[in-house]
């Protein structure tokens, strides 16, 4: 399988029928993603993508197959997290043309978006692997959980409550703000 590494694409040179990108984005080409996760699954991420011109923008679309390992924030178990399977991005080679100035408002500028998933490609240069890595980083959950109903680790004895009940008291801890509530009642 062909490896896709750092690849800068000059959008002006994309033919009308588009360009095809098929192969493996190796782990070594994804240093920020590798640092952000507990581990990579496999040798990298397989991609089957097409970049096509569409009026004044370019559309990158296709399929992605890959996964990373994340660590559950509640129980510290590692679990597999699939990267988005279907991918579609809009690439704008002329972001400065998307500015609209209202003549009645001094200095106000609005950006006219082509889509929610728009990538700017100043000077008509598009960095494929870097943009894919950005998308995958944005896809990672802020607070990873191995399962929706994860019970986590007992703060008293350290037992993984997904595997066994520990019998420790689950009464709520005292809040340092309870003192403030008492002050209000005394007035």
- Give the pLDDT confidence of 63-120 residue by residue, as tens digits: 999 999 999 999 999 999 999 889 999 998 886 654 444 455 444 444 444 345 688 8
The percentage of residues in the chain with a pLDDT greater than 70, rounded to a whole number, is 83
pLDDT digits 0-9 by tens, 7-38: 899 999 999 999 999 999 999 999 999 999 99
Residue 81 has a pLDDT of 96
Paired sense of beta strands 86-92 and 57-71, if any: antiparallel
pLDDT (0 to 100) of residue 179? 78
Q: If we measure between CA atoms, which residue out of 130, 132, 91, 133 comes closest to residue 113?
A: 91
Confidence at residue 97, expressed as pLDDT on a 0 to 100 scale = 59
Question: What per-residue confidence (pLDDT) applies to 37?
Answer: 95
Per-residue pLDDT tens over the stretch 115-160: 456 888 888 899 999 999 999 999 999 999 999 999 999 988 889 9
Rounded average pLDDT over 51-55: 93
pLDDT the model gives residue 91: 92
């Amino acid at each position: 399988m062909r490896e896709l590494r750092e690849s800068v694409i000059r959008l002006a040179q994309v033919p009308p029928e588009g360009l095809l990108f098929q192969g493996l984005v190796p782990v070594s080409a994804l240093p920020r993603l590798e640092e952000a996760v507990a581990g990579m699954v496999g040798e990298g991420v397989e991609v089957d993508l097409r970049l096509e011109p569409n009026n004044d923008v370019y559309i990158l679309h296709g399929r992605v197959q890959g996964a990373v390992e994340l660590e559950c924030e509640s129980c510290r178990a590692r679990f597999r997290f699939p990267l988005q399977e279907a991918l579609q991005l809009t690439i704008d080679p002329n972001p400065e043309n998307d500015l609209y100035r209202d003549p009645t408002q001094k200095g106000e500028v609005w950006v006219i978006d082509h889509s929610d998933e728009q990538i700017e490609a100043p000077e008509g240069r598009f960095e494929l692997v870097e943009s894919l890595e950005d998308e995958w980083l944005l896809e990672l959950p802020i607070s990873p959980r191995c399962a929706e109903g994860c019970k986590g680790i007992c703060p008293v004895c350290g037992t993984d409550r997904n595997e066994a009940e520990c019998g420790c008291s689950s009464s709520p801890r005292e809040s340092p703000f309870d003192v403030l509530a008492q002050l209000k009642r005394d007035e």
